[in-house]
Amino acid sequence: MDMMTTKRIFRAGMQDFWRNGFVSLASILVMTVTLFVVGMSIFAGVILNSALIELRDKADVNVYFTVSAPEDQILQLQKSVQALPEVQSAQYISSGDALTQFRARHQDDQLTLQALDELGQNPLGAVLTIKAKDITQYDTIAQFLEQQQTSSSGGASGIIDKINYFDAQHRQALDTLQNVIASSQRLGFIIIIILILTTIAISFNTLRLAIYTSREEIQVMRLVGAGRFYIRAPFMVEGVLYGIISGMITLLLFYPLTYWLGASTEQFFGGVQIFSYYLAHFPFFFLVIIGTGIVVGIVSSFLAVQRYLKI
């Protein structure tokens, strides 16, 4: 196919697009809704997965020591814990650092700070924060610590005040959240497929109307021996225009929407700033949204011509 033929095809597709203005508008609006749902499904997956990762990162074992616990015994226990194959890290927080962090957390609570000052001494003991390599290994770590706490010969005996850890109940809640996220992603995928099929069906019927208005031109083209692709191509160009314009509208709509929701998602969903994410991953969104629009437009155009042109 030479350059002259290509120009004629694109010119005919552009003419059909503007000549069938109402049909084009209807197809663009329907396709925009579909592409908007595709984009929102991507955002929802990012937010939910980020929230799950954030919750997993917060899982740990906190060992609270008595105020009188000797530091050398605490450090010895830290080395024993770090030697466990299940442990990823074990961070030691001294009683002084624990007090500093407590004051920072309650800097706006003057009553609490005043009561703390009246004590005249540090009421907080040291803390050992332990993170496991896998979320299922916290039970094993907690059992080791409990054995150290109850052992009469262990160095940790008598210095551990309390052990808080990510137990099976909390892990079950996290697994439930993960299952909910997976189910929502599957449901979102099904909804997207349904909307895409609906868009193809609507575009199919609107393009059929456009083909009907051009039936005399098509008959003349067939009589002079025009090939199948040459007859289909202008309508496929029209479908590509539907997809590109719908995709651009969708991308423009996401800009103010993500800007408005950015602060809320950062506050409530594990620190994800959805507006910053959109800007940082804009090439990805551009390819997905515009690409989906073009594919849907081409498929619906091809099917409309294939079905209603007797060639």
* Architecture label for domain 60-165: 2-Layer Sandwich (3.30)
Cβ-proximal residues to 251 (8 Å cutoff; 6+ apart), any chain: 282, 285, 286, 289, 290
Predicted confidence band of residue 215 (pLDDT cuts 50, 70, 90)? low
168-213 vs 282-308: helix axis angle to the nearest 10? 40
Q: Which two tokens stand for residue 135?
A: 């979320």
Q: What is the pLDDT of residues 250-269, one digit of tens each?
A: 999 999 988 888 777 766 65
Question: At 115, which amino acid appears?
Answer: A
Least confident of 36-50, 51-65, 87-101, 167-181: 167-181
Burial category of 169 from C-beta neighbours within 10 Å (exposed 0-12, middle 13-18, buried 19 and up)? exposed
Least confident of 85-99, 204-218, 235-249: 204-218
pLDDT score at 271 = 63
Sorted by where each begins, the domain ranges of the chain are: 3-55+173-308, 60-165
pLDDT score at 221 = 65
Is residue 265 a contact partner of residue 164, using CB atoms and an 8 Å limit?
Answer: no
Whether residue 289 has pLDDT greater than 80: yes
Whether residue 309 has pLDDT greater than 60: no
> Is the model more confident about 91 or about 207?
91
228-268 vs 282-308: helix axis angle to the nearest 10? 150
pLDDT score at 109 = 76
pLDDT score at 249 = 94
pLDDT score at 251 = 93
Proportion of the chain above pLDDT 90, given as a percent = 5
Q: Which of 4-18, 167-181, 285-299 has the highest mean pLDDT?
A: 285-299
Burial category of 277 from C-beta neighbours within 10 Å (exposed 0-12, middle 13-18, buried 19 and up)? buried
Least confident of 16-20, 44-48, 95-99, 214-218: 214-218
Distance (Å) of CA 66 to CA 124, 126, 129, 252: 8, 7, 15, 58
Q: Note if the pTM is more than 0.75.
A: no
Distance between alpha carbon 22 and the CA centroid of its chain, in Å? Answer: 36
